[in-house]
Amino acid sequence: MSQEHNESLQIQEITKLKPKHFADLVRSAQLVFDPTAGVSGRHITVDWEQFGIPRDVADNLKSLGQHYQYASPHIPVEDIWSKLTPETRIWFVENKDRLWQLEEAFPALDED
């Protein structure tokens, strides 16, 4: 077993986070970075604190979203975990089952 695989399993075991939670976090971070999903000419200002995301966590998520702006949300767990601040890690563990709701608040722009 590789060291990365062991690290990923340890993170998941300790935090009770699953790969789907990390994918949800990446999609959420992409939204925090760009709530318009890259549509030119659209600008949205979002108060992330109204979504329960503290400012320091939103800043960390914005950085993560920028880094993975066009990436698939299925990124190795250890890569994501290493980019999270301690405050974001705590927030993530506490909010792991609510991240999908953030996506629902920003419906796809091609939907009616």
**pLDDT interval class at 105 (50, 70, 90):** confident
User: For residue 103, what is the DSSP state?
Assistant: H
pLDDT of residue 14: 77
**pLDDT interval class at 70 (50, 70, 90):** confident
Cα dist from 109 to 35, 103, 104, whole Å:
10, 12, 12
Res 109 pLDDT > 70: no
What whole-number distance in Å separates Cα of residue 12 and Cα of residue 15?
Answer: 5
Among 86, 75, 95, smallest CA distance to 26 is for 75
**For 79-96, how does the pLDDT look when each residue is reduced to its tens digit (9 = 90+)?**
999 999 999 999 999 999
Check: CB of residue 69 under 8 Å from CB of residue 30: yes
What are the tokens at 84? Answer: 């999270």
